Amino acid sequence: MKPNQDIPLLGWRRICEIFGKGNFLHGKILLSLLAEGMQAAELKHPDYAQGDKEAMEVVYDEMREFIYAVEYETDERQASEARDVSIVAIRFLRGDHNAHR
């Protein structure tokens, strides 16, 4: 992901408030949860994907697991799968799948 000068850089407090729907602590907890998941995902799958198509398949597979969890599993499992979808989507957004080019 390349820096875009048209996007204003927000401070940590404002970012947490946005992610927490106005509540700084809730946003900080959510972002910490995502960061912990990202760290674990990078250790488990350092070679996330090679190219757009493979990365899309990774996101799609995680989305299918999330859908299944919503239909048949506990709230805790649903939240875990939602986190996983978010993490693979962020890895796509950040360009991890282009690291091999």
Q: How far from the centroid of its chain's Cα atoms is residue 21's Cα?
A: 18
pTM for the predicted model, two decimal places: 0.86
Sequence spans of domains, the chain: 10-37, 45-101
pLDDT of 4 over the 70 cut: no
3-state SS, residue 100? coil
In this predicted model, what pLDDT tens digit does every residue of 14-45 receive, in sequence order? Answer: 999 999 999 999 999 999 999 999 999 999 99
In this predicted model, what pLDDT tens digit does every residue of 72-98 receive, in sequence order? Answer: 999 999 999 999 999 999 999 999 998
How far, in Å, are 15, 70, 88 from residue 73 at the CA level? 31, 6, 21
Neighbour-count burial of 24, counting CB atoms closer than 10 A to its CB (0-12 exposed, 13-18 middle, 19+ buried): middle
CA torsion 86→10→99→38, rounded to 10°? -40
Q: How far apart are CA 50 and CA 67, in angstroms?
A: 25
Task: Report the amino acid identity of residue 3.
Answer: P
